[in-house]
Amino acid sequence: MADYIIKTNRLGLRNWQDSDIEKAVNMNSDVSVMEFFPSILTPEQTIGFIKRMQLHFTAHGFCYFAVDVLETDAFIGFIGLSTQTFESSFTPCVDIGWRLLPSAWGKGYATEGARACLKFGFSRLRLPEVYAIAPELNIKSQRVMRKLG
């Protein structure tokens, strides 16, 4: 059983493991998953992402967590918090984000996991604010953001 940092009724959110690499590579190379990003990610880019998340977790106690469905132990993607430093009027900041496999879409997992991450961020980490960023055309993510408040 994995060491979950955050648990909800249906989801376990945890730090990344090397055993997640193949599943994450498949997710990040899926054009439907990456529709609102400049391109799909190469295996090397995905491995780099996972390593950055592991380091971010070690340094800050949070990251875009790997997510499992508790009932099946199936990896479905990531949901979590990360520090953003790109050039903008609101950075540096902590943002909340998610990326899920198509098989996990439409089941409320993004909202459930993100809500738990916000609670974790505000109550345990004492973050003063958390940003959510999504392209205007990404209606599904916009909908999740509205549900979160």
Pick the CATH number of 6-148 from 3.10.20.90, 3.30.70.980, 3.20.20.80, 3.40.630.30: 3.40.630.30
Residue 74 has pLDDT above 60, yes or no: yes
pLDDT of residue 33: 96
Other CB atoms within a 10 A radius of the CB of residue 62 amount to: 24
What would you report as the CA-atom Rg of the chain, rounded to the nearest whole angstrom?
14
Look over the chain and give the mean of its residue pLDDT values, rounded to a whole number. 95
pLDDT at 1 over 70: no
CA 65 to chain CA centroid, nearest Å: 6
Interval 44-66 mean pLDDT: 97
Condensed to tens digits (0 to 9), the pLDDT of residues 122-146 reads 999 999 999 998 988 999 999 999 9
What does the domain layout of the chain look like in residue ranges? 6-148
Predicted local confidence at residue 101, as pLDDT: 98
Q: Where are the beta strands (DSSP E) in the chain?
A: 6-7, 11-14, 64-69, 74-84, 93-100, 131-132
Residue 54 has pLDDT above 70, yes or no: yes
